[in-house]
Amino acid sequence: MTNKVLSFLFILTFSIASLSVSAQNNADRVLGKWLNEDGDAHIEITEQDGVFTGKLVWLKFPIDEETGKPKLDKKNPDEKLKTRPTLGLEMLTGFRYDSGNKEWTDGEIYDPKSGKTYSCYMKFEDSGRLKIRGYIGISLIGKTTYWTAVEE
Q: Phi, psi (5° rounding) for residue 51? A: -110, 130
Q: What is the per-residue pLDDT across 41-63, written as a single tens digit (0 to 9) for each?
A: 999 999 999 999 999 999 999 99
- pLDDT tens readout for residues 65-117: 999 999 999 999 999 999 999 999 999 999 999 999 999 999 999 999 999 99
13 domain-assigned:
no
Whether 84 is covered by a domain: the verdict is: yes
Q: How many domains does the chain have?
A: 1
Query: Per-residue DSSP letters for 93-112?
Result: EEEEEETTTTEEEEEEEEET
- Give the list of residues 6+ apart from residue 6 with CB closer than 8 angstroms, or none: none
List Cα–Cα distances, 37 to 51, 130, 147, in angstroms.
24, 10, 5
| Residue 4 resides in a domain | no
Domain enclosing residue 102, as ranges: 29-149
Q: Above pLDDT 90, what percent of the chain?
A: 78
Does residue 35 form part of some domain?
yes
Predicted pLDDT at 79: 97
| Residue 6, domain member (yes or no) | no
Report the CATH number at residue 142: 2.40.128.520
Is pTM beyond 0.85 here? no
CA distances from 38 to 26, 41, 58, 65, 79 (A): 26, 8, 13, 19, 27
Q: How far apart are CA 10 and CA 120, in angstroms?
A: 40
